[in-house]
Structure 1
């Protein structure tokens, strides 16, 4: 295509020679894709950072292999050289004083949440030059819906909400290359540990020796591991994880479903006395070698997975099924109409609300016994809907329950819990880049969560007394209790860490974008080609 376009252009056209060079790949007798990528690099249409190889031990029968990565230090130094606003939250070097003040303020406030972090000892004189960062790991979708491990990193203080502004690719790996090395959560995965080991070495170099920039040296400080619960548990080698119920199932305390009930939301709950008392690691993970990486605080409490993809989604599923169970959504039908018909009527009501009130289109296209996990009245409702649908469902149910119904006690609990969670989400997500809550905002957030806990548990108890299986109290309910506890710990401080600071909505977007790049590559070269494509993709984003 490039060569054909060049043939129709005037020789005086400034782009003619560029298209001729790009078109050389078409006539190449060797690897056309490699020739094309080399020409793109020669023309400067990609970042200068080059993909490098790291030696990784793959599963038995494969042995040592070279794994492509985009090195952390080289990429970070190129960003500081050519695109400083990306790492300096939208500011250039002409605003260096403001940048340094913001970093100093961040670490001053962060000290209240994690006073023993090594950064306060190692860089106590350079906190204004320390860039707080986070690691993100997740599994995307590759060929034929197979998994592909995605590893990225980025700054905590972001220059904007878009994923390309704060998610920087490190490497990816098809599931077929690491799935046979899974040894359980406590022992981790040897192949992924090998990858993480190289990343940790690079991250520690950036922490200790720093990065060169036109305005002196900066340091990268990784303070959290983001990702869903399986990724966090596997990569951190957590012996206490969500799959352990009824045994100890929390990385931050010793809660279980026996002697230390994880569902106990009371202020004097026994699990509160065990927070931080015993580390959850079943074995040593490479991430433990990061500064602060061997502490439970390094595991991010991801509000997106804990709430929208967790307990809030579980709650709205029970709300819908409970309303159907007691006779709602029978408009135009007999009161004894079958459950599938009522669910269809409920969805029509929800869809109309989204169209007329929210002006949005939900991802879910129907309510059914199957997608609600409610095949009979002997099962607890549960769904796998997207987080964006959880938000719309909460708003719809609040609107529906506020209609002039003769609400029973369970419906009152449902309404109070939904309003509280809606207010909590609105407070946390009101500004996409807000990392800190003021004391007043933190107090409000604690109040909203406490109202949600009380109402949720009361609704579950009332249903249990009526022999109805609704409002399942899952491990994610307990993890949300820890978010409340973190806010409570900052009571009396001027600021508290926003629970949405490490929410991963946009990181999930990055995983989707990069996975799509990988689906158009040959399976044998997916890691290398995806890295090369990302360097081109991000150059286009940052230079437009």
Structure 2
């Protein structure tokens, strides 16, 4: 703003933006930069969504952007087609009708089919996403948004248009829509009721939008559009917190299982007589699938009309399950095994890691795979010594795919040259190969998998489970802390099982689990959390929402 201070006043006054710049400079001079959202709003440079104060208990008010208000503004601005992955209003009826036709095969018990089945072409599918970002002093801030599972695809897809498109392409300001933010100090410990009240208000509104809908200007006609919530996206800690789950990852039995050690909200895996990593047809956990609710008190989102099996609301996030979970375990242990065998030359452990990194970098350049890390260390592998299980903790989850690709290539070449077969390395190679195939199928597909792609993904998933467990068993027999078995491995098993179940039932289209993944939402959370660090701590919630509306307007409309 100070750059305008010495500008030619005759020229400056002729600028269309002179008034805006003058107001901004005035706020800069008076130390009120963090209130610039009001200036942009007054000049039509922010989404005109009103801030609504809701009662969160004990006399406290909290600002939110109501879903109905957001939908009305988007409809007025001709942006409602974003909710069915299009820019054209005329595609609404065919797209929404086909979406719900496929979803009926996925979850026929969802309330939408009984209560609103007569006008599915006017029902918008909605997902809720929640996650905790980082604000000032490394404190947390809960960020809640709504979004559609349908979007404009993913850059790696080679699928046909009939598969519909995942919601990955495009700036997240234009594909995710903020409901509210809440700093951790406002809802932690004795203030737990605050977050519960926020979620209850959201649930009540979504229930009303499901039952009564909202009147929207769709093109030249006014019509009632309905909203059906199909799931909560988020990592496992958020799912456990919002859903009041009593069975979650933190319940994983360390020593001996008990009747209270179950860690899966969909089944009783982890309890006595329910081994969680058994992938056989007669695995005992299968008979307990959706037979016992994972809470003593329902979470606030349970009041939203949804599937009769309310556990289905809580979706496994493939990004944290694989890139930051199971495949990161595979990648981390795989890199250490190369050192165990001395396959990259002599020297201490760090020297060997340096050599491995150079090979990894060369492989990524040859295979045209992006690599974000700039080196390998014990710290990055969370491996202080042989008393710990290594795991890749690199910042970018995409690097997990890069490492798994490298390991497959390296081991393929090495195993082929062995005079005597090595079952340990062979099973590790198969685990890497099937992991890469699993990701390749999903990331090259649309929102719905064809039968051929579904079969390939399910087969690759089961192949991975078999080879990974064999590799972990071989490491255990060698008395090596490699290839850890974690609750996320069981979560992956449910994802694979859903694919196999859809294929065996003869579904023409099966839900791509990437539709529940939070890869793009991680980017979104970072952006919104960043805004919270630029506003006054005394009114962080309200000012963050105002600044969001400015940014959303810019990315939705650009120079329109």
Instruction: Name the TM-score, length of structure 2 as normaliser.
Output: 0.88
- What pairs with 1:99-248 in structure 2 (closer than 5 Å)? 99-159=92-152, 161-162=169-170, 163-181=172-190, 189-215=192-218, 216-246=223-253, 247-248=261-262
* Residue correspondences, number: 520
Q: Which residue does the alignment assign to 1:185? A: none
Cα distance in structure 1, aligned partners of 2:512 and 2:87? 22
**Which 4+ runs in 1 deviate beyond 6 A?**
none
Cα distance in structure 2, aligned partners of 1:534 and 1:518? 10
Is 1:300 the counterpart of 2:315 in the alignment?
Answer: yes
Cα distance in structure 1, aligned partners of 2:494 and 2:85? 29
Match 2:370 to one of 328, 345, 360? 360
For each residue in 1:68-121, what CA deviation from the matched residue of structure 2 results, as whole angstroms up to 9, or x when unmatched?
11111101111122122322322322x2xx321111111111112211111111
For each residue in 1:365-413, what CA deviation from the matched residue of structure 2 results, as whole angstroms up to 9, or x when unmatched?
3323333222222322224223111111111111211224426211111
Q: Which residue does the alignment assign to 2:390? A: 381
Tell whether the 8 Å contact from 1:49 to 1:70 is kept in structure 2 after alignment. Answer: yes
Tell whether the 8 Å contact from 1:130 to 1:220 is kept in structure 2 after alignment. Answer: yes
* TM-fit CA distance, 1:428: 0.8
Tell whether the 8 Å contact from 2:431 to 2:463 is kept in structure 1 after alignment. Answer: yes
Secondary structure at 1:137 match in 2: strand
Cα distance in structure 1, aligned partners of 2:423 and 2:125? 47
Is 1:68 the counterpart of 2:63 in the alignment?
Answer: yes
Is 1:350 the counterpart of 2:352 in the alignment?
Answer: no
For each residue in 1:173-210, what CA deviation from the matched residue of structure 2 results, as whole angstroms up to 9, or x when unmatched?
1112222148xxxxxx4221111011112212221221
Match 1:398 to one of 408, 412, 415? 408
Cα distance in structure 2, aligned partners of 1:87 and 1:305? 25
Tell whether the 8 Å contact from 1:132 to 1:220 is kept in structure 2 after alignment. Answer: yes
**Structure 1 stretches of 5 or more lacking a match?**
58-62, 183-188
Cα distance in structure 2, aligned partners of 1:6 and 1:361? 48
Cα distance in structure 1, aligned partners of 2:29 and 2:332? 58
Secondary structure at 1:279 match in 2: coil
* TM-fit CA distance, 1:33: 4.8
Tell whether the 8 Å contact from 1:302 to 1:504 is kept in structure 2 after alignment. Answer: yes
Secondary structure at 1:126 match in 2: helix
Cα distance in structure 1, aligned partners of 2:532 and 2:147? 21
* TM-fit CA distance, 1:132: 0.5
* TM-fit CA distance, 1:472: 1.1
- What pairs with 1:251-400 in structure 2 (closer than 5 Å)? 251-256=265-270, 258-292=272-306, 295-330=310-345, 333=346, 337-358=347-368, 360-363=370-373, 365-385=374-394, 386-400=396-410
For each residue in 1:250-284, what CA deviation from the matched residue of structure 2 results, as whole angstroms up to 9, or x when unmatched?
00001116421101122211101110111111312
Cα distance in structure 1, aligned partners of 2:340 and 2:548? 50
Cα distance in structure 2, aligned partners of 1:242 and 1:26? 48
Q: Which residue does the alignment assign to 2:160? A: none
Tell whether the 8 Å contact from 1:101 to 1:128 is kept in structure 2 after alignment. Answer: yes
Cα distance in structure 1, aligned partners of 2:338 and 2:138? 35
Secondary structure at 2:294 match in 1: coil
Tell whether the 8 Å contact from 1:263 to 1:478 is kept in structure 2 after alignment. Answer: yes
Secondary structure at 1:297 match in 2: helix
Tell whether the 8 Å contact from 2:235 to 2:316 is kept in structure 1 after alignment. Answer: no
Cα distance in structure 1, aligned partners of 2:382 and 2:18? 59
Secondary structure at 2:413 match in 1: coil
Tell whether the 8 Å contact from 1:50 to 1:70 is kept in structure 2 after alignment. Answer: yes
Tell whether the 8 Å contact from 1:91 to 1:99 is kept in structure 2 after alignment. Answer: no
Secondary structure at 1:198 match in 2: helix
* TM-fit CA distance, 1:154: 0.9
The verdict on how the C-alpha distance between 1:254 and 1:341 changes in structure 2, with shifts beyond 3 A counting, is: same
- What pairs with 1:382-531 in structure 2 (closer than 5 Å)? 382-385=391-394, 386-404=396-414, 405-406=417-418, 408-431=422-445, 434-490=446-502, 491=504, 492-531=506-545
Cα distance in structure 2, aligned partners of 1:157 and 1:119? 18
Cα distance in structure 2, aligned partners of 1:6 and 1:441? 63
Higher relative contact order (CA closer than 8 Å, sequence separation 6+): 2
The verdict on how the C-alpha distance between 1:481 and 1:525 changes in structure 2, with shifts beyond 3 A counting, is: same
Cα distance in structure 2, aligned partners of 1:362 and 1:13? 43
* TM-fit CA distance, 1:13: 4.3
